[in-house]
Amino acid sequence: MSYDFTPLTERRRLQAIAKQKPELLGNDFTSLEYQKRVQRKDLGKMLLFRDSNMSGWALKRITEDDLKFPLVFGEGKRARVLATIGVTRGFGDHDLKVCGTDIYIKPFLSPAPDVQVYNLFEYDHSENDVLIMGTDGLWDVLSNEQAATVVNEVLESFPANDYKRYASAAQELVMAARGVLREKGWRIHEDKPGSGDDITVYVIPLCRHQNMSRENSFTESREVSPSE
């Protein structure tokens, strides 16, 4: 299992790199994050900020250096690293620079995935224990908690032995992320914009493996002899 990595979720890692190597920011960016975009009229005022070692916010007096553009800026899907790219992990992009500068973005991008292994045989699962797999179109607008609430409500409305309950839960997640078409366009809860990206969702029951042996459930490669 893995997670979606964005400039917001990896803010502290990105800021730590910039703090260790400030030359990577040139003279255009600052590693600090502010609760609002700092403007010249804010000089000398106290504003909330946070650095790589901070999970919460603190006050600082704004100086000329704070007028630089933040390393991480934007909300949700619009968040960007160095005002350029919306992802923080991947391959390539060695020559990608901030537009109009000689600032390289690659030093802030990591090719290393953060993957966790969930051993199905360590737990007893019921028909209501599932794994939700979805594309950005789902997770851009729904939190883990919201997705779990939608799935639980659907599963409770079906008999436990009805296989259609999982497909229905996936369909309901798609509808929750797309929203309802209104005058302002597609809207979800609290009148927020619905997902504008493609939405693909799987709701996978975790109890089905229990009828399999451990040996048959593993997909380990093995050498095949000529006689086979």
Which has the minimum average pLDDT: 17-31, 160-174, 206-220?
A: 206-220
**Look-up: residue for tokens 């032995």?**
161
Please name the amino acid found at residue 77: K
- pLDDT band of residue 117 (cuts 50, 70, 90) is confident
Strand partners, 213: none
Are 104 and 157 in a shared domain? no
Q: 15 vs 6, 11, 64, 81, CA distance in Å? A: 13, 6, 19, 10
For residue 115, is it within any domain? no
Are 159 and 192 in a shared domain? yes
**Look-up: residue for tokens 């009805």?**
162
**Could you read off the pLDDT of 136-153 as tens digits, one per residue?**
889 888 888 999 999 999
Q: How many domains does the chain have?
A: 2
Q: Is the pTM of this model over 0.85?
A: no
The larger pLDDT score, comparing residue 123 to residue 60, is at 60
- pLDDT band of residue 2 (cuts 50, 70, 90) is low
Are 61 and 18 in a shared domain? yes
The larger pLDDT score, comparing residue 8 to residue 71, is at 71
pLDDT at 222 over 50: no
Summary mean pLDDT of the chain: 88
The larger pLDDT score, comparing residue 46 to residue 1, is at 46
Structural domain containing residue 170 = 120-217
Q: Do 98 and 28 form a contact (C-beta atoms < 8 A)? A: yes
For residue 225, is it within any domain? no
CA-nearest of 37, 26, 50 to 107 is 26
Q: What local confidence, expressed as pLDDT, does residue 211 receive?
A: 62
Q: Do 64 and 40 form a contact (C-beta atoms < 8 A)? A: no
- pLDDT band of residue 93 (cuts 50, 70, 90) is confident
**Look-up: residue for tokens 């999982």?**
166
For residue 5, is it within any domain? no
Which has the minimum average pLDDT: 63-67, 68-72, 142-146?
A: 142-146
Are 97 and 177 in a shared domain? no
CB atoms under 10 Å from CB of 11, counted, come to 23
Q: Do 130 and 118 form a contact (C-beta atoms < 8 A)? A: no
For residue 223, is it within any domain? no
Are 171 and 128 in a shared domain? yes
For residue 126, is it within any domain? yes
CA-nearest of 225, 227, 6 to 110 is 6
**Could you read off the pLDDT of 195-204 as tens digits, one per residue?**
888 899 999 9
Burial class (CB in 10 A: 0-12, 13-18, 19+), 134: buried
For residue 28, is it within any domain? yes
- Single out the residue in 80, 108, 136 at which a domain terminates: 108
Are 96 and 160 in a shared domain? no
CA-nearest of 105, 132, 137, 103 to 118 is 132
